[in-house]
């Protein structure tokens, strides 16, 4: 069952004539003076530095940018010759965060949602639901709960929901940025299958060029200063603009040079041991043991990567080692040197004792922000230690500079971009100079520039004797940073033999 | 973690439209609110306990889900016994406490009444799937679809909030502000959760809009929500129980109209 046996979907054109958009309350235009024509059926990869207005353009084309109270428009932006808002359902938008795109509780209902809103007759809705679920390869019953899907499955569900509306224009805003490597491939393959069977115009934003390179026939690079920086066939644009794009944070294939490197190799021997785990078992909440029989050591001046499939308990292990979750069994002890007068088990340390010992960078930076400005956010840790005045200011200023956040010192942490939030979350932890850094997916969804900065910073810290423990799916990151790799096995439920039907 | 876990079962009650369950529970509650006497409540409760055999719940499930009602009812009764309107013979008095003939009758009536209203409400709603309820409210009761569907989609976020709350708790300990001052810590954490939930909500709203939600087009419904024989039967049963309770209460001279 493919789209081939149904009526061919429409295919839409895009025209921008001196178009621009300024969000309400901002002084700078997010997009300015944009002139652009995309013909029906073209497949476009949209690139540009962060802040060049790529997402704004996509949201505008989908008609979800909002009205006059949300911002100010210049020039005209047309989809098939009409205002995007007037043609709901003509454009299908797929966003980055899998969790915020699931709308209803059951898989079938979720796919049907868009069709219902567009007034499609009932029999036709269910025909489309079946067809689109098959097209994205989501083989679960219609009544399957959406909350039980993995990230990659949720994105394919959202894709099916978009396709069911039969849009002539497919707009994807970094749909794989929040997925693990398996999820990225799942979604990419589903999109490739869809494009084979569809005539729809396709525009995708993604800073990892390699994922989509083979599926597009045009690359447009937006200029952060307004207008278009480069536009043409993928090979030509990447060849002529590669250097510039790479500096702006785009992952251009074949441009891995200038990667940061370690100065020293890891020190070995018993003297550097910070933490030792003996047949440790870990649990997210009481009685729900995720993994057991874990034996490992965490050392100063060395980096340990925690890897493993989804659901194997990587984050739980990291949070347990960081003294935030209580081990459900076995032993976890800090060396006498590391404990430095505090209890042996990290979970028994006070919140303040943790500050100079373990710094934890959470997967979602927003979870760890507690202050109203970037400057105040960086000062939280030092102040909790009882430091004050010039000592705190000096430390904060150094961090602001080091993390390129000085121009944002008075901004609210929640209003920062993804890369800025990541840098700030690392900075809040560094403010108290802990001897061990625990990071959960520190490079998730980051552009090349932030990636390189985070890696360089960590390497510097390791060289200076800090211990690093990082959970990561990112093989480039593991290769660049880790001295050792602790791999957790698949979750117990997955390992049980499948009962024959 | 999901608050929208779909209850499953094969009994007839699972196929009854949630709107009928809502109507039956409201009807029963409405009538039993009109009087305060132990007879009407006892009659209703007796009928209900028999009907519960068809409610699609195991005895264990029934007890777990209705436990709050079983706890609340005697508590309310006890309060009424000690502080209720004094009337007739005084059995015991201590300060503000007066246990009298009148207050003990009221206490029994209150306990039975809470059980008679609370138990069927809980039992009927255990088997309600929120999606089906939303369909019914929009298609049968004709509440505005934007309102109903917005609420339904928002409900799905509650599970995410629980995860957020746990992460916020750990993050505060990691940031060095997790010691002491439980109330202040909770207040800060609650505010952080509010900020996160608003952000999640606005992202969800964008995703819904992108799927044509709120478009000026007459909406269709993928899942028909119907009100037929089975539904009328359930509402009829609710009505019958309510009427029987009133008739027996009036006939035995116990009817005690609240506004009288």
Domains and CATH numbers, chain A: 40-65+84-247 (3.40.50.300), 270-495 (3.40.50.300)
C-alpha–C-alpha distance, residues A12 and A88, integer Å: 13
Residues with Cβ within 8 Å of A107's Cβ and at least 6 positions away in sequence, in order, are A133, A138, A140, A141, A142, A143, A144, A145, A146, A149, A157
Q: Do A367 and B168 make contact, defined as CB atoms within 8 angstroms?
A: yes
Q: Classify the C-alpha dihedral A155-A157-A161-A166 as positive or negative.
A: positive
Let me know the angle formed at the C-alpha of A234 by A232 and A236, rounded to the nearest 5 degrees.
70
How many residues comprise chain B? Answer: 260
- Pick from B195, B209, B210, B215 the residue to mutate for testing the A interface (most A CBs within 10 Å): B210
C-alpha–C-alpha distance, residues B246 and A57, integer Å: 66
pLDDT tens track for B105-116: 889 999 999 999
> CA dist B22 to B25, B128, B141, B143, B229, Å?
5, 9, 11, 14, 16
Facing residue for B215 by CB, picked from A59, A118, A285:
A118
Question: What's phi and psi for A30, nearest 5 deg?
Answer: -70, -40
- Contacts with A114 from chain B: Cβ below 8 Å: 211-212
Which pLDDT belongs to residue A399?
93
Q: Do B153 and A147 make contact, defined as CB atoms within 8 angstroms?
A: no
C-alpha–C-alpha distance, residues B102 and B86, integer Å: 6
C-alpha–C-alpha distance, residues A178 and B122, integer Å: 40
How many residues comprise chain A? Answer: 501
> CA dist B37 to A283, B2, B41, B244, Å?
52, 41, 7, 14
> Looking at chain A, which residue has its C-alpha nearest residue B152?
A104
Q: Do B213 and A117 make contact, defined as CB atoms within 8 angstroms?
A: yes
In the DSSP assignment, the letter for residue B35 is B
Q: Do A103 and B223 make contact, defined as CB atoms within 8 angstroms?
A: no
Instruction: pLDDT tens for chain A, 501 residues: list them.
Output: 333 334 445 789 999 999 999 988 778 888 999 999 999 999 999 998 777 889 899 999 998 887 778 889 999 999 998 888 877 778 999 998 888 899 999 999 999 999 999 999 999 999 999 999 999 999 999 999 998 888 889 999 999 999 999 999 999 999 988 888 888 898 999 999 999 988 999 999 988 888 999 999 999 999 888 889 889 999 999 888 888 888 888 888 876 655 677 766 665 555 689 999 999 999 988 778 888 899 999 999 999 999 988 778 899 999 999 999 999 999 999 999 999 999 999 999 999 999 999 999 999 899 999 998 999 999 999 999 988 888 899 999 999 998 889 888 998 898 888 888 999 999 999 999 999 999 999 988 788 888 888 999 999 999 989 999 999 988 889 999 999 999 998 775 544 443 333
Q: Residue A95's closest CA among A248, A204, A230, A186?
A: A204
Q: Do A105 and B2 make contact, defined as CB atoms within 8 angstroms?
A: yes
> Looking at chain A, which residue has its C-alpha nearest residue B165?
A367
Facing residue for B4 by CB, picked from A105, A112, A119:
A105
Q: Do A319 and B170 make contact, defined as CB atoms within 8 angstroms?
A: yes
Beta-ladder partners of A361: A439
> Looking at chain A, which residue has its C-alpha nearest residue B1?
A147
- A367 to chain B, minimum CA–CA distance in Å? 5
Q: Do A113 and B213 make contact, defined as CB atoms within 8 angstroms?
A: yes
- B187 to chain A, minimum CA–CA distance in Å? 12
- Number of A/B CB contacts below 8 angstroms equals 169
Q: Residue A360's closest CA among A344, A381, A339?
A: A381
Q: Do B170 and A325 make contact, defined as CB atoms within 8 angstroms?
A: yes
C-alpha–C-alpha distance, residues B145 and A267, integer Å: 64
- Pick from A95, A142, A203, A324 the residue to mutate for testing the B interface (most B CBs within 10 Å): A324
Facing residue for A350 by CB, picked from B159, B179, B212:
B179
Q: Do A370 and B164 make contact, defined as CB atoms within 8 angstroms?
A: no
| Longest Cα separation, chain A | 73
Which pLDDT belongs to residue A6?
42
Q: Do A359 and B203 make contact, defined as CB atoms within 8 angstroms?
A: no
> Looking at chain B, which residue has its C-alpha nearest residue A425?
B175
Facing residue for B6 by CB, picked from A95, A105, A324:
A105
Q: Do B212 and A362 make contact, defined as CB atoms within 8 angstroms?
A: no
Q: Do B220 and A121 make contact, defined as CB atoms within 8 angstroms?
A: yes
| Longest Cα separation, chain B | 70
Instruction: pLDDT tens for chain B, 260 residues: list them.
Output: 344 454 566 777 888 999 999 999 999 999 998 888 889 999 999 999 998 888 878 888 888 889 999 999 999 999 988 888 888 888 888 888 888 888 888 899 999 999 999 999 999 888 888 899 999 999 999 999 989 999 999 888 888 888 899 999 999 999 998 887 788 888 888 988 998 898 889 889 999 999 989 888 889 999 999 999 999 999 999 999 999 999 999 999 888 887 76
- A110 to chain B, minimum CA–CA distance in Å? 10
Residues with Cβ within 8 Å of A431's Cβ and at least 6 positions away in sequence, in order, are A378, A379, A380, A381, A382, A395, A396, A399
- Contacts with B200 from chain A: Cβ below 8 Å: 99-100
The DSSP secondary structure of A333-347, one letter per residue, reads EE-HHHHTTS-SSGG
ipTM above 0.90, yes or no: no
Facing residue for A116 by CB, picked from B173, B178, B222:
B222
C-alpha–C-alpha distance, residues A205 and A55, integer Å: 8
Cβ proximity of B135 and A104 under 8 Å: no
Residues with Cβ within 8 Å of A319's Cβ and at least 6 positions away in sequence, in order, are A325, A360, A438, A440, B170
Let me know the angle formed at the C-alpha of A303 by A302 and A308, rounded to the nearest 5 degrees.
150
Q: Is A66 helix (H, G, I), strand (E, B) or coil?
A: coil
Which pLDDT belongs to residue B260?
65
């Amino acid at each position: 069952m493919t789209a081939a046996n149904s009526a061919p979907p429409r295919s839409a054109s895009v025209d921008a004539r001196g178009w621009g958009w300024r969000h309400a309350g901002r002084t700078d235009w997010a997009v300015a003076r944009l002139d652009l024509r995309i013909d029906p059926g073209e497949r476009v990869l949209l690139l540009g530095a962060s802040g060049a207005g790529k997402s704004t353009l996509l949201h505008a084309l989908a008609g979800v940018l909002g009205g006059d109270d949300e911002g100010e428009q210049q020039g005209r932006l047309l989809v098939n010759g009409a205002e995007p808002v007037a043609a709901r359902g003509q454009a299908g938008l797929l966003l980055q965060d899998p969790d915020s795109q699931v709308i209803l509780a059951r898989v079938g209902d979720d796919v049907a949602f868009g069709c219902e809103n567009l007034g499609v007759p009932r029999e036709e809705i269910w025909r489309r639901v079946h067809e689109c679920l098959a097209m994205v390869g989501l083989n679960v019953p219609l009544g399957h709960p959406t909350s039980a899907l993995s990230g990659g499955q949720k994105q394919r569900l959202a894709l099916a929901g978009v396709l069911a509306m039969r849009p002539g224009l497919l707009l994807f805003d970094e749909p794989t940025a929040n997925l693990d490597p398996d999820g990225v491939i799942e979604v990419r393959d589903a999109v490739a299958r869809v494009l084979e069977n569809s005539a729809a115009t396709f525009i995708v934003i993604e800073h990892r060029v390699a994922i989509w390179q083979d599926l597009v026939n045009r690359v447009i690079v937006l200029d952060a200063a307004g207008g278009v920086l480069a536009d043409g066939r993928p090979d030509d644009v990447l060849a002529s603009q590669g250097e510039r794009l790479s500096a702006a944070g785009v992952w251009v294939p074949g441009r891995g040079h200038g990667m940061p490197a370690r100065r020293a190799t890891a020190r070995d021997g018993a003297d550097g041991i910070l933490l030792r785990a003996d047949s440790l078992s870990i649990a997210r909440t009481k009685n729900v043991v995720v993994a057991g029989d874990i034996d490992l050591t965490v050392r100063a001046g060395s980096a340990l990567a925690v890897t493993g499939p989804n659901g194997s308990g990587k984050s739980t292990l990291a949070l347990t080692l960081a003294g935030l979750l209580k081990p459900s069994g076995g032993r976890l002890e800090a060396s006498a040197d590391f404990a430095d007068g505090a209890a042996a088990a990290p979970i028994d340390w006070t919140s303040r004792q943790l500050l100079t010992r373990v710094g934890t960078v959470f997967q979602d930076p927003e979870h760890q922000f507690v202050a109203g400005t970037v400057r105040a956010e960086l000062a939280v840790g030092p102040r909790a230690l009882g430091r004050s005045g010039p000592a705190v200011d000096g430390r904060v200023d150094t961090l602001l500079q080091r993390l390129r956040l000085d121009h944002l010192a008075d901004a609210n942490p929640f209003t920062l971009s993804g890369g800025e939030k990541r840098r700030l979350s690392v900075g809040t932890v560094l403010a108290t100079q802990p001897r061990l850094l625990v990071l959960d997916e520190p490079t998730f969804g980051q552009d090349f520039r932030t990636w390189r900065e985070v890696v360089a910073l960590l390497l510097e810290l390791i060289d200076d004797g800090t211990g690093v423990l990082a959970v990561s799916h990112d093989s480039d990151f593991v290769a660049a940073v880790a001295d050792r790799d602790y791999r957790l096995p698949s979750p117990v439920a997955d390992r049980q033999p499948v009962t024959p039907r | 973690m999901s608050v929208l876990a779909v209850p499953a079962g094969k009994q007839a009650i699972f196929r009854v439209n949630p709107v009928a369950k809502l109507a039956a529970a409201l009807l029963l509650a409405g009538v039993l609110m009109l009087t305060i006497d132990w007879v009407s409540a006892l009659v209703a409760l007796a009928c209900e306990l028999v009907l519960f055999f068809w409610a699609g719940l195991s005895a264990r499930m029934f007890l777990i889900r209705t436990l709050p009602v079983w706890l609340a009812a005697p508590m309310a009764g006890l309060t009424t016994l000690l502080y209720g309107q004094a009337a007739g013979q005084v059995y015991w008095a201590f300060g503000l406490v007066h246990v009298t003939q009148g207050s003990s009758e009221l206490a029994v009536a209150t306990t039975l009444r809470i059980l008679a209203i609370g138990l069927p409400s809980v039992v009927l709603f255990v088997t309600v799937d929120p999606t089906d309820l939303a369909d019914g409210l929009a298609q049968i009761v004709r509440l505005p679809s934007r309102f109903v569907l917005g609420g339904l989609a928002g409900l799905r976020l509650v599970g995410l909030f629980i995860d957020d709350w746990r992460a916020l708790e750990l993050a505060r300990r990691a940031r060095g502000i997790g010691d002491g001052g439980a109330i202040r810590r909770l207040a800060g954490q609650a505010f952080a959760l509010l900020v996160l939930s608003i952000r999640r909500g606005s992202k969800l709203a964008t995703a819904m809009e992108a799927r044509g939600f709120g478009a000026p087009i007459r909406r269709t419904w993928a899942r028909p929500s119907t009100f037929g024989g089975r539904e009328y039967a359930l509402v009829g049963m609710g009505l019958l129980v309510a009427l029987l309770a009133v008739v027996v209460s009036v006939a035995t001279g116990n009817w005690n109209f609240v506004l009288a």
